[in-house]
Amino acid sequence: MPPFSVLVVGAGGREHALARAIAQDPQVIAVHVAPGNPGTATIATNHPVDQLDGAAVAALAVELGVGLVVVGPEAPLVAGVADAVRTAGIPCFGPSAEAARLEGSKSFAKDVMASAGVPTADARVCTTADEVAAALDEFGAPYVVKADGLAAGKGVIVTHDRQAAVDHAAGCDRVVIEEYLDGEEISLFVITDGTTCVGLQPAQDFKRVGEGDTGPNTGGMGAYSPLPWAPDDIIEQVLATVARPTLDELNLRGIEFSGLLYCGLAMTSRGLRVVEFNARFGDPETQALMGLVETPVGQLLLAAATGTLADFGEVRWHPGAAVVVVMAADGYPGTPAKGGAIMLPPDREDAWVIHAGTALDPDHDQLVAAGGRVLTVVGRGPDLAAARHQAYALVDEIDFPTGFVRRDIAARVLAGDPA
Ligand code: AMP
Ligand code: GLY
């Protein structure tokens, strides 16, 4: 494969982690990010382009002469940015707008899973208060109510409080109400060129804002990988029962999905069930996986974007584990406090900071909070305990008085639960 440069689209922690890993690929000459953040600026060139504007992203990719565009977040995918880049003749990692509906519409995803025979929670799509009431009564508590469109991880409520469930549904045009799934959650990412599927090692994400998995859902407050408790054949199981049947069903509908299929799974007492699909890398699980991947990431994503994954082989991983801890701004996932000053210690060999919602204060050249999830701290080590120690030791050196972390990321697994 000749050397090539890469444009990463997005501005969050996932994009910083991807850009950092891609920059380490020996075949990659240069990495660009649009629009990026102060963290990506330290390892790549940022370009102030609207990530939702497909024509502008495609024009930038042509101007830079990149060999690959990687679209990170769901919003540009749903807006058709990958389509615009491919139309301009540049290989793109990320599904078309049509295929990204697998994430953009919960009801579409449910319909595809039903046709494909993929195990998931039984669900009803509701548009009226009467339908909502009937579905809540049919499934009983705990109630699971999901807004149908994109909601940055905050459109779902899981509650025993029937009135809260009714109120959440009333705030959305169209909701999916579904059966509650018990058991541990697994995030398993499948890279596909539309034909060949390659599974990445599983991770676990911490969705709730509060310690002990309490409080509202967020985009994710931390993660770890690998999962010592997951079955050895989890990747093959998910490819066979979830990913391949889903991609086949999309193909039957004339939709090719290429890019990353994020399978959010619950290991329920009745077996594996899909909780959700996303059409892109997960955040913050990606920050953990990018700390462990040995395969050159630029070449892997280019193979997926050019339909040559079958010749690429399996993804290789460094031994050991990674733990990531998100530092969020006070108020998140409600209204986050903006502008809080941040002082960062230097990165270490086995612990580093990934930027998400940060900005540079134009007057003082001071790093400040500019979003809900502000930083992800990644720790790596020979095992989960060591990786966790690395992550929290660096967290403790960060001066960010208007931010907070969960102190219990990967604590339960180290205490033997899940076993
Ligand atoms: P989603 O956006 O569909 O991933 O939902 C966000 C989070 O809500 C999931 O990661 C789960 O923690 C929780 N959740 C979603 N659906 C269910 C369900 N059917 N049963 C239990 N928890 C769920
Ligand atoms: N970590 C959950 C997500 O990326 O949707």
Query: Where, residue-wise, is CATH 3.90.600.10 in the chain?
Result: 321-414
Rg of the chain, C-alpha, whole Å: 20
Any bridge partners for residue 144, and if so which? 158, 178
Judge contact between 102 and 112, C-beta under 8 A: yes
Residue range 321-414 in CATH 3.90.600.10: yes
CATH number of the 4-93 domain: 3.40.50.20
Instruction: Quick: pLDDT tens for 15-51.
Output: 999 999 999 999 999 999 999 999 999 999 999 999 9
Length of the chain in residues, anyone? 419
Cα–Cα distance, 394 to 256 (Å, whole number): 42
pLDDT of 148 = 82
| The two three-digit tokens of residue 43, written as one number | 């390892």
pLDDT band per the 50, 70, 90 thresholds, residue 134: very high
pLDDT band per the 50, 70, 90 thresholds, residue 419: low
CATH number of the 123-178 domain: 3.30.1490.20
- Report whether residue 276 contacts ligand 1, using a CB cutoff of 6 Å: yes
Q: Nearest CA to 274 among 301, 240, 313, 238?
A: 238
Query: Where, residue-wise, is CATH 3.40.50.20 in the chain?
Result: 4-93
Please state, rounded to an integer, the average pLDDT across all residues of the chain: 95
Nearest residue (by CA) to ligand 1, atom 4, is: 276
Rounded to the nearest whole angstrom, what is the distance from the C-alpha of residue 64 to the centroid of ligand 2? 30
CATH number of the 182-311 domain: 3.30.470.20
Cα–Cα distance, 253 to 247 (Å, whole number): 10
- Residue 313 confidence (pLDDT) above 90: no
Rounded to the nearest whole angstrom, what is the distance from the C-alpha of residue 164 to the centroid of ligand 1? 16
- Residue 153 confidence (pLDDT) above 80: no
Query: Where, residue-wise, is CATH 3.30.470.20 in the chain?
Result: 182-311
pLDDT of 402 = 98
Query: Where, residue-wise, is CATH 3.30.1490.20 in the chain?
Result: 123-178
Nearest residue (by CA) to ligand 1, atom 9, is: 275
Looking at 117-181, list the stretches that DSSP marks H as alpha helix, in order from N- to C-terminal side: 129-139, 162-170
pLDDT of 346 = 97
Judge contact between 162 and 168, C-beta under 8 A: no
Q: Nearest CA to 283 among 146, 155, 189?
A: 189
- Residue 150 confidence (pLDDT) above 90: no
